[in-house]
Amino acid sequence: MTQVCVNSLRVAVPGKTLLDDLNLEFSPGQLVGLIGPNGAGKTTLIKTLAGFQPAGTGSVTWNGRDIRQWTARERAAVCGYLPQHYVFAWDYNVRDLIELGAARVAANEHSIADAVRAHELEALVERRWSTLSGGERARCLLASVMVAAPALLLVDEPGASLDIRHRIDLLARLRATAAKATVIVVMHDLELAARYCDRLVLLANGRIAQDAPSAEVIAPGALDATFGVRFQRVAIRPGFDAMLGIPPS
């Protein structure tokens, strides 16, 4: 179990404050979504939580220990991090990439086989990275991160390249993982964020506009103001997996 605490966090670059005085706590038991407009600070926050973006002031702690005190090996054993974009120096095949992920911990062949099946990669295991589509690459990277069963899972917009079925499967898998691990995911698909995330942190201009259970965040108020959009709220009937808006005739 890994608890993550953010205390008075501020991150800035010349001429711009990216994150401003953030205070947050994350624990296992709920899937947490980070939402907000472009430039709100979502990716900066997830990178800072992972230890790849240094804090200007304030701190990020894992289990009460400042992240700056963790070695790279210690972080790799605890945290799985999936960025928006990833470029490999070598043209690995899919199985190689999953094995690299498994090597971070004592994962065995059974774990690797389970990851291949869970992400529907059976037909792709011998394919090279350069031959994969965007969606296939996303599933491969997710498998390589999740095969190690990290206690802390940080994912930046994982569904961008996935078709709707695989996007839904992914969110269901992340929610199940959150029962025993701390899982934080950057989301742009607000409908799926509202449906699958237990808690939403709404960011605007590097600050927290709202941090509450999903049902509260999607209610009229801060969400509409932050995005500058008037949302129509519609209850999704049981038995349906996603919603399509039908334009007025």
Domain ranges of the chain: 4-227
> What is the mean pLDDT, run by run of 10 residues, along the chain of 249 residues?
92 93 96 96 96 91 94 90 82 92 76 89 93 90 90 89 88 92 95 95 97 96 96 88 84
What distance in Å separates the CA atoms of residue 143 and residue 95, rounded to the nearest whole number?
10
Alpha carbon distance 154, 49 (integer Å): 8
pLDDT tens-digit profile of 12-64? 999 899 999 999 999 999 999 999 999 999 999 999 999 999 888 999 999 99
Q: Quote the CA–CA distance of 1 and 174 in Å, as a whole number.
A: 16
Class of domain 4-227: alpha beta
pTM as predicted: 0.92
